[in-house]
């Protein structure tokens, strides 16, 4: 059985060490509850910290990728709307050419009026192709080629989509003013073929843009699901379990109070030895 020492109070030292450990644990739990994080620095959980950083990196990447996809959809919607307007113009041009090709009812006056309207429509095609842009970047003048959208968190081909939108100017479509006109019946007949070919070209362009838009929309839904899963995994690893931490906090408070009481009692042992000597 250990005796009662005057010079060295082993019981008090043990009680103090236990109380200090309790205080350290209590401070850690308080920090977790106040920050909402169970891993705040690498010292808290070195391996968990590394995994947490990786998950946060991936989650942030998915968040930005979703935004990138939404921007891409807006680009494609802008192009799609402009191509729809061009298709409507070409349909009107085809109607005019077909009307003028009916030579038995045409006069110099009607031919001139029809040609003026036809030329105006040709100019509208060029105006749309030249002015359609997104954020200052032209979409339909032929310069929007090989544009890369980052649609994933990493620099891999599977996380990127390359988009090209062909030119839809009157020259590219073969219906510019130097190529076709409807000033005569014969030229109107040739214009019908050219315009109808242009209608098919624009329809195919619009279909390609629409298919890519649908791909982007589906991709956005998939990215959102992946983002939610990554964020949930990060939260499970890094965020504090409030119920568990609160229970631990209450337990440590009791231990701290008990430890302080025991330390006080242990500090009185030398006084008891002194009384024995009296």
Buried (b) or exposed (e) across 221-249, using 16+ Cβ within 10 A? eebeebbeebbeebeebbebeeeebeebb
Residue 1 pLDDT: 42
Phi, psi dihedrals of residue 178, rounded to the nearest 5° = -85, -15
CB atoms within 10 A of CB 72: 24
Q: What percent of the chain has pLDDT over 70?
A: 82
Of 148, 152, 164, 130, nearest to 227 by C-alpha is 152
Residue 263 has pLDDT above 80, yes or no: no
Residue 46 pLDDT: 86
Residue 274 has pLDDT above 60, yes or no: no
Residue 28 pLDDT: 66
Confidence of residue 236 (pLDDT cuts 50, 70, 90): confident
Q: What is the pLDDT of residues 237-255, one digit of tens each?
A: 776 666 676 777 677 678 7
Confidence of residue 276 (pLDDT cuts 50, 70, 90): low
Q: What percent of the chain has pLDDT over 90?
A: 55
Measured CA to CA in angstroms, residue 203 lies from 7, 168, 173, 270 at distances of 98, 11, 12, 99
Residues 106 and 135 sit within 8 Å (Cβ to Cβ): no
Residue 29 pLDDT: 65
Residue 243 pLDDT: 66
Of 164, 160, 126, nearest to 145 by C-alpha is 164
Alpha-carbon torsion, ordered 73, 76, 77, 81, to 10 deg? 180
Of 24-33, 42-51, 104-113, give the range with the top mean pLDDT: 104-113
- Quick one: average pLDDT of 8-23? 73
Residue 239 pLDDT: 67
Q: What is the pLDDT of residues 163-211, one digit of tens each?
A: 999 999 999 999 999 999 999 999 999 999 999 999 999 999 999 999 9
Least confident of 13-27, 132-146, 169-183, 193-207: 13-27
Distance CA 120, CA 177 (A): 10
Compare 206 and 31 and report the one with higher pLDDT: 206
Distance CA 101, CA 95 (A): 10
Mean pLDDT of the chain: 85
Compare 68 and 267 and report the one with higher pLDDT: 68
- Quick one: average pLDDT of 113-119? 94
Residue 10 has pLDDT above 90, yes or no: no
Residue 149 has pLDDT above 70, yes or no: yes
- The model carries a pTM of 0.73
Residue 260 pLDDT: 77
Domain 64-238, CATH homologous superfamily name and number:
f41 fragment of flagellin, N-terminal domain (1.20.1330.10)
Of 218, 260, 264, 272, nearest to 22 by C-alpha is 260
Compare 29 and 56 and report the one with higher pLDDT: 56
Residue 123 pLDDT: 96
Residue 48 has pLDDT above 90, yes or no: no
């Amino acid at each position: 059985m250990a005796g009662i020492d005057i010079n060295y109070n082993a019981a008090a030292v043990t009680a103090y060490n236990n109380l200090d450990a309790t205080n350290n644990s209590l401070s850690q739990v308080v920090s977790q509850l106040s920050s909402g994080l169970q891993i705040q620095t690498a010292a808290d959980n070195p391996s968990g910290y590394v995994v947490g950083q990786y998950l946060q990196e991936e989650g942030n990447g998915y968040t930005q990728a979703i935004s990138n996809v939404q921007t891409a959809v807006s680009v494609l919607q802008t192009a799609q709307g402009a191509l729809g307007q061009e298709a409507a113009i070409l349909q009107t041009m085809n109607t005019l050419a077909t009307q003028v090709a009916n030579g038995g009812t045409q006069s110099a006056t009607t031919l001139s009026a029809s040609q003026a309207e036809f030329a105006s429509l040709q100019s509208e095609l060029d105006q749309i192709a030249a002015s359609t842009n997104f954020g200052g970047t032209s979409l339909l003048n032929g310069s929007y080629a090989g544009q890369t959208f980052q649609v994933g968190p990493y620099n891999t081909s599977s996380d990127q989509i390359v988009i090209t939108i062909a030119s839809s100017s009157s020259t590219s479509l073969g219906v510019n003013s130097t190529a076709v006109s409807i000033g005569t019946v014969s030229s109107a007949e040739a214009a019908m073929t050219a315009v109808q070919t242009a209608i098919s070209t624009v329809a195919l362009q619009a279909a390609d843009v629409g298919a890519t838009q649908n791909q982007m929309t589906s991709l956005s839904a998939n990215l959102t699901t992946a983002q939610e899963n990554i964020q949930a995994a990060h939260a499970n690893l890094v965020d504090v379990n409030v119920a568990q931490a609160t229970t631990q906090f209450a337990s440590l408070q009791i231990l701290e109070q008990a430890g302080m009481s025991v330390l006080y009692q242990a500090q009185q042992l030398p006084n008891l030895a002194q009384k024995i000597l009296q």
